[in-house]
Structure formats: structure tokens, C-alpha cells
Amino acid sequence: MTILLSQSFFFYTLIAGNRNIERIQRTLELPYIISIISNATVMAQDAMPHLARTKICVYCGAGTGASPAHMEAARALARAMAANNIDLVYGGGTVGLMGEIAKTLVSINGPQSVHGIIPEALVKHERAGSRHAQNIPDEAVFGRTTLVKDMHTRKKLMAEEVFAGGPGSGFIGLSGGFGTMEEIFETTTWIQLGIHSRGIVLLNVDGYWNGIIDWLDKAAEEGFVKPGNKGLLAVAETGEGAIKALREYKVSSSIYQLQWGTQ
């Protein structure tokens, strides 16, 4: 804002010439300065999404899966995110796919690139060798961790980080169970309801999500999902493909045009 004010003064000085410097100085009194600062604040707020780092929230399981392809997909996605300078937000587990993607990205881009958010009640199930809620995993290995009270707070904080992220921020669903499915569908529903416009992509490892993709086709065929909304849940076969899909993601015109927070 100081730069903008100085530039404005210099601009007016050039126009008016040195003879009018005193008049210009009188013009730049408090009300005018406040106006400049207000405009600069608006400009800064508008520019923030472009200055913010890209953040991807990855939904995935705390298990490894029967096929080694799932763990390798987690590592490959982490490498792709590192190559594209993208930060990870995830469920905070240190085992299974969750632990693998976190520690792989930290090993390449450092602990500041990962933020795990986990409810205290899940610590003993989604952390390796930890049985106490205050036993935070090594930040140098898994990145920063935040403990929360419940699942709703976990999902809210993960989503808010993505919403505040830069271009290409969004959500990726790796292989997982009921919890992963619930997170994927809730995030997709939020898009359909007009709550947010960040993309979500299924990373389909060895056909893991084929059943969901078939269901989506059937739901559209039977009229339970608008045909234009089938693409709300994008699909990719590789980590690089998922990142590309988020960058190119466009919300369907078939979503509900609801005004949230105005009622």
C-alpha cells in the first residue's frame, strides 16, 4: 500500500509539475489516503488467490491395499505434487496410503509442504506406534499435524485450506474405504450445491473406482444425476493426470445456483 501511495503521488507530480506540489500534498490528506489504502486492500484481496500456494487435499485410506499398485500410486502422486510445487492437505495418518503420500512429499519438498489434520479419537488407528492423543508424529517425517475434536472439524479445516489455495487447488480421491468414499461424495455434493467450485478427481488405480464410474453413468441414465453434472467428479489414471484435471476443472452449468449464507 505504501508503494501504491508513493506511485500515486509521483504520478500526480509528473502531471502537475513542481509548481503544484504543495497543492497535491494538500490533496493527499487523510480522506484521500484512506481511499487509496481501501482500494489497495481490495486489490490485494483480489490478488491473493494468485499469490497463494496451490494446495491439494488427498482423500485416501489408512490401509495399504492388497495390490502394491496403491502404495506406488500414493508415492507417484507425491512426486508429481513435488515437481509442481504443490502442498498436501490430508487426514493426518502415518500408516497406509495416508502415511506414504505424506512422508514421500516431505522427503522431497520438506515438512512445510504437508499439513495433516486428524481427530484425537482416530490417532490410535491412523498413526503408527502412537496410542496417546498428544503424541504428535515427527514433523521432519510427516509434516505439520493438527489435532481436532471431531470428523466435521477435520473436513472443514481441510476444505478451507483448499478454498484458500492458489490456482489448481482441489481434491483428489485415492483408493480407500468408507471414510474416503464419504469425503469424496460430500465434496462433490458441495460443488453440485454451489458451495464451492474447486475440482475433485478420482485417481483410478488399476480400475479401483470403476464401480463408482459405472454407478455414475447409471445414475445419470436413470435421472438421479443430471447428465451435465456427471463431470463434477472427474477421473484420472495418473498423479500427473489428476493434477492436470484440477487445473482444467470447470464447474457444470447444471449445478444448483444457490446463494449460501444470504438467507
Looking at residue 210, its pLDDT comes to 98
Looking at residue 226, its pLDDT comes to 93
pLDDT at 238 over 60: yes
Q: Around 150, how many Cα atoms within 13 Å sit in the side-chain half-sphere?
A: 2
Share of the chain above pLDDT 70, in %: 75
Share of the chain above pLDDT 90, in %: 67
- pLDDT (mean) for 200-212: 98
Residue 76's contacts (CB-CB under 8 Å, 6 or more residues apart) are: 238, 239
Looking at residue 58, its pLDDT comes to 99
- Between CA 130 and CA 118 the distance in angstroms is 13
Quote the cell numbers at residue 200: 475433485
Residue 127 — pLDDT band, cuts 50, 70, 90?
A: low
Looking at residue 252, its pLDDT comes to 84
Residues 119, 150: contact at Cβ < 8 Å? yes
Cα 35 → chain centroid: 34
- Between CA 96 and CA 103 the distance in angstroms is 11
pLDDT at 2 over 80: no
CA dihedral 79, 56, 172, 47 (to 10 degrees): -130
- Between CA 192 and CA 49 the distance in angstroms is 22
Quote the cell numbers at residue 92: 493426518
In 3D space, the residue among 181, 239, 245, 176 whose CA is nearest the CA of residue 215 turns out to be 181
Q: Check: pTM over 0.85? Answer yes or no.
A: no
Q: How many CB atoms lie within 10 A of CB 145?
A: 21
Q: For residues 256 and 42, which has the higher predicted lDDT (pLDDT)?
A: 256
Quote the cell numbers at residue 104: 514421500
Looking at residue 121, its pLDDT comes to 87
Phi-psi region of 168 (alpha: psi -120 to 50; beta: other; left: phi over 0): left
Secondary structure percentages of the chain, helix, strand, coil, to 5:
55, 15, 30
Torsion sign across C-alpha atoms 48, 49, 50, 54: positive
Quote the cell numbers at residue 193: 450445491
With b for 16 or more beta-carbon neighbours within 10 A and e for fewer, the 163-192 pattern comes to: bebbebbbbbbbbbeebbeebbeebbebbb
Q: For residues 4 and 256, which has the higher predicted lDDT (pLDDT)?
A: 256
